[in-house]
Structure 1
Amino acid sequence: MTSTRNKFLLALVALVLLATYAAAVKGDCTVENCATCLEEDATKCAECKPGYKRTDAGQCEAISCDVPNCATCLEEDATQCAECKPGYKPTDAGTCEEISCDVPNCATCAAGSTTQCAECKPGYKPTDASTCEAISCDVPNCAMCLEEDATKCKDCNAGYKVTDAGTCEAASDAAAAPHSGVAAVAALAAAVVAYAL
């Protein structure tokens, strides 16, 4: 019985050694950006990952794309676009052209659309219909409200100044009362410099 057990253990050790040797010979694929290496040589690629092409030496190099505004060129031709960047669409000639946006006051249309806005111009907000409408300003004597809040003023009309609460109050001296926060900082800085001299 000991003899059978020893034979079994020797056979098991032999299988482990054989498996270890096979793994060492085959090895893991060591080629960067390679999807599948050659079975007989883990240092040479059989198939590269998307966006890469196989060189004669069995390595993978990035496919250069010579088409402006193209996200991915055809693998076999760097002068033909397969997929354009957002905001562009492919042409029959293999190039990319800008998608025109037909939505008034829209800064950027939704990808692949000319009638749905993704981002409105300053002073406008998106609607449920993917168009843009003017941001209403509910603050008296306000020239422009904050984009995100129509109840707070960003810039007041001449003769008024922005308060900490985002409203507009009459300035005692229009020249001394700046119209916006940036102008207030500039006026304060000028006063400090004048005092220091």
Structure 2
Amino acid sequence: MSGWGEPLFIGSRMGSKDVEAWVPVEVLPESKWSPQGYAPGRRHVPERLDLCIGRARDWADRIPVEISKVNRLIRRFNVFGAALSAVAGAFSISQITRSPEVWWQIVSAVAAISGAISIAVPSTLGLRERGEQLVVLAGEYSRLLGRLLDARTTILLGAEPESLNSLYSEYDNLKTRREPLGIAREK
């Protein structure tokens, strides 16, 4: 049967509205003529492509949450350090002017140094660099997800997609770059 079928909705959950595309009946995902759901003119979408799409979508949604966690941790260190330094400064000025004892000076110096150290901890632990790497990785996962969805749509429409092997190797490369950043493994 060569005609135009019902609309096939193509899109993602990444904030863009779904795009409505009209496709021939032969390439619709389900067919009442075939028990496996494949119409005669429909091309099969490789299982690995669907798997990569699902996982890339999950990571494109999940990495921004990780970025938020890293930024909150950095802010906590900075707020704690700033508060400790402010209290130490106010306390030391009031106490040093009243009593010139050495132990007050030591306590206020230790508090001020502790505040400075807590502000430097995120950089020392590499949290800032990890956050920057996560931002780059999130963008790359989103771009890859778009290319994977384009390849799937191209297959469903009966055309040849770009090299699936290059998309798979790009996905594997992103996975390799993600693992050292300490994000939990895939389910």
> TM bucket by the smaller chain?
under 0.3
TM-score scaled to structure 1, two decimals?
A: 0.18
More helix by share: 2
Identify the structure with bigger relative contact order (alpha carbons < 8 Å, sequence gap 6+). 2
Q: Give 1 or 2 for the bigger CA radius of gyration.
A: 1
